[in-house]
Amino acid sequence: MGMITGAEILIKALEYQEVETAFGIPGGAILPAYDPLIDAGFRHILARHEQGAGHMAEGYAWATGKVGVAIATSGPGATNLVTPLADALMDSVPIVAITGQVPTHAVGNDAFQEAHTTGITMPATKHNYFVTHAEEIAQTVAEAFHLASTGRPGPVLVDIPKDVLNARVPWRDPEPVAMPGYRPTTSPHPRRIREAIRLIESAERPVLYVGGGIIKAGGSEALAAFARMTNMPVITTLMGRGAISDHNPNTLGMPGMHGLYAATTAMQKADLLVAIGVRFDDRVTGDPDAFAPFAKVIHADIDPAEIGKVRAPEVPIVGDARLILEAMCERWGDTPTPELEKWWTTIRTWQERHPLRFDQQVDGPLKPQHVISRLRDRADDDAIVVSGVGQHQMWASQYWRFDQPRHWINSGGLGTMGFAVPAAIGAKAGMPDQQVIAVDGDGCFQMTVQELITAAYERIPIKVALFNNAAHGMVRQWQRLFYNERFSASDLGQQLPDYPKLAESMGCAGLRATRVDEVDHVIETMLEIDDRPVVAEFVVDRDEMVFPMVPAGGSNDIVLNGPEDL
């Protein structure tokens, strides 16, 4: 093959990795790559802000299980990607970010739009690269995709100076990736599996505590099988929703700060936690010194750094979550199902005494829980739900029913406001035949609302259920509970902006419901519109709070089921 530019090699390298969609914004340093991009064998979606492009790549990766790709220029383009990179790192989302850089001779001279991209993003990525020779581009891209998608998935950044993109060199197919020092352990040690099974056999109050690692590993079928064999209660973290069907009789739902009472209390009273693909997040454990005081712990994870970080386990298992569960199923074999009737009776009593509840009066203000429940009942069974961060995120997790993995997408670790709309665009771009619904709050929505233009222009018909309580709702809830109702800087204003008109100005349909009797019609209309994006605003009770609640840093022994428990 003849000589081609580094930019052409970059695009060819992305094609070599079977990229189907990329999200980005051109600029000076990355512009050489955008010339061959016009003829690329994959789709490029032009975002309106690099943060939006990064979250689109995340949503795409979440929904498809493939590596998401974001492209940006140097300086502010690259720094605008930092938030989605950090978000992807916290939530183990496989994305590859390609950034342009000033020419190599100008690096370190404070050139126009120069930023130390690799230095800035080092703590926000699984790994990053600074490419100095065009001959290295294809192999570097191959390594980046390998790193992003293997072991514990995560974001990888490749920074390429403009002169490297312009240099002319021959194309060479990347070599098979072999990286000394990077060999993730996937198969669990048989001795650890035996030790784990012995603990499970002897437990009287066991709990399967599972998270996003199950979904990343494709371990849902193995999880359901092991739960059936052992009859253990299954608790799914915020990131693990959908790892097992909410209609499975063993499922207790989400635990933690705003988790279901029975799930949180079962963990607290358990004598064994079988933790798989979780990291003992503070939103789950509350006070770690008071968390599950009676429990022995089996902790299984692909990332050995997570094991023992918060809670020292009796049995540590390093490996792929699916392979671990399959090994446990094989080891369990024909072992009789444990007698856990007493434990299940206790749990069912908690469920009966402390169900989720809200009070929707026919002539009263709209309750967000009512809207989510009605939307859930009318949406497609396989709808992908993408959430922002805050109260609406918790209500969506509590009241929706997820029956399969990769149908619940949200920012759990970093808690990034503005995540929902661009992530929904990415999810819909990756799964065009599925209904994609963004559940967002007015505060989150305003942070990345410009990406509605992207959705309209690119004909990506997402649906946005916008909960307008004229406030940063979770901030307001905490101010009400813990700051003597001193509502400092949490009021957003009820009429600013006019959301349906704003949506229409961006090429979307705009709807609004302010009363209970309008909700069903607005939902049905929103779900029927499929030729353009649609924003349905629901003006909800600004004083509604999320319960159950464990006060931050408190013990999970104290679960507030409502204001009356304060």
Q: Which two tokens stand for residue 394?
A: 């918790």
Same-domain pairing of 210 and 154: no
Same-domain pairing of 345 and 404: no
Tell me if 446 is assigned to some domain: yes
Same-domain pairing of 241 and 100: no
Same-domain pairing of 519 and 417: yes
Tell me if 60 is assigned to some domain: yes
Tell me if 280 is assigned to some domain: yes
Same-domain pairing of 316 and 374: no
Q: Please give the single-letter amino acid code of residue 414.
A: L
**Distance (Å, rounded) from C-alpha 179 to C-alpha 549?**
45
For 435-457, give the DSSP string.
-EEEEEEHHHHHHSTTHHHHHHH
* Confidence at residue 563, expressed as pLDDT on a 0 to 100 scale: 85
Q: Which residues pair with 366 in a beta bridge?
A: 540
For 18-53, give the DSSP string.
T--EEEE---TTTHHHHHHHTT-SSEEEE-SSHHHH
Q: pLDDT 10s per residue in the chain (566 long)?
A: 589 999 999 999 999 999 999 999 999 999 999 999 999 999 999 999 999 999 999 999 999 999 999 999 999 999 999 999 999 999 999 999 999 999 999 999 999 999 999 999 999 999 999 999 999 999 999 999 999 999 999 999 999 999 999 999 999 999 999 999 999 999 999 999 999 999 999 999 999 999 999 999 999 999 999 999 999 999 999 999 999 999 999 999 999 999 999 999 999 999 999 999 999 999 999 999 999 999 999 999 999 999 999 999 999 999 999 999 999 999 999 999 999 999 999 999 999 999 999 999 999 999 999 999 999 999 999 999 999 999 999 999 999 999 999 999 999 999 999 999 999 999 999 999 999 999 999 999 999 999 999 999 999 999 999 999 999 999 999 999 999 999 999 999 877 899 999 999 999 999 999 999 999 999 999 999 999 999 999 999 999 999 999 998 899 999 999 888 87
DSSP 236: E
Domain containing residue 196: 190-353
Pairing of strands 68-72, 21-24: parallel
Same-domain pairing of 104 and 143: yes
Task: Report pTM.
Answer: 0.97
Strand order in the sheet with 296-301: 251-253, 234-236, 206-210, 272-276, 296-301, 315-318
Burial of 324 (0-12, 13-18, 19+ CB in 10 A): buried
* Confidence at residue 63, expressed as pLDDT on a 0 to 100 scale: 99
Same-domain pairing of 295 and 154: no
What is the Cα gyration radius of the chain?
Answer: 24
The CATH number assigned to the domain holding 199 equals: 3.40.50.1220
Residue 532: HSE in the Cβ half-sphere, 13 Å Cα cutoff = 15
* Confidence at residue 2, expressed as pLDDT on a 0 to 100 scale: 84
Same-domain pairing of 84 and 195: no
Burial 266-295, CB ≥16 within 10 A → b, else e: bbbbbbbbbbbbbbbbebbbbbeeebbeeb
DSSP three-state, residue 549: strand
Same-domain pairing of 132 and 73: yes
DSSP three-state, residue 364: coil
CB neighbour list of residue 108: distance below 8 Å, 6 or more residues apart? none
Phi and psi at residue 419, to the nearest 5°: -75, -40
Same-domain pairing of 348 and 426: no
**Distance (Å, rounded) from C-alpha 426 to C-alpha 13?**
21
Domain total in the chain: 3
* Confidence at residue 1, expressed as pLDDT on a 0 to 100 scale: 58
Tell me if 317 is assigned to some domain: yes
Residue with tokens 């209660």: 233
Residue with tokens 């399967």: 208
The CATH number assigned to the domain holding 411 equals: 3.40.50.970
**What are the angstrom distances between the C-alpha of 474 and each of 38, 83, 264, 346, 378?**
44, 21, 20, 32, 27
Q: Which residues pair with 4 in a beta bridge?
A: 169
Tell me if 253 is assigned to some domain: yes
**Distance (Å, rounded) from C-alpha 452 to C-alpha 421?**
7
CB neighbour list of residue 500: distance below 8 Å, 6 or more residues apart? 510, 511, 512, 535, 537
* Confidence at residue 71, expressed as pLDDT on a 0 to 100 scale: 99
Give yes or no for a cis peptide into 422 (omega within 30° of 0). Answer: no
Same-domain pairing of 140 and 265: no
Tell me if 494 is assigned to some domain: yes
The answer to whether 436 and 383 have CB atoms below 8 angstroms apart is: yes
Same-domain pairing of 390 and 310: no
Tell me if 294 is assigned to some domain: yes
Domain final position from 319, 353, 387: 353
Domain final position from 101, 136, 170: 170
Domain final position from 322, 353, 384: 353
Active site residues: 50, 112-113, 162, 474
Tell me if 161 is assigned to some domain: yes
DSSP three-state, residue 407: coil
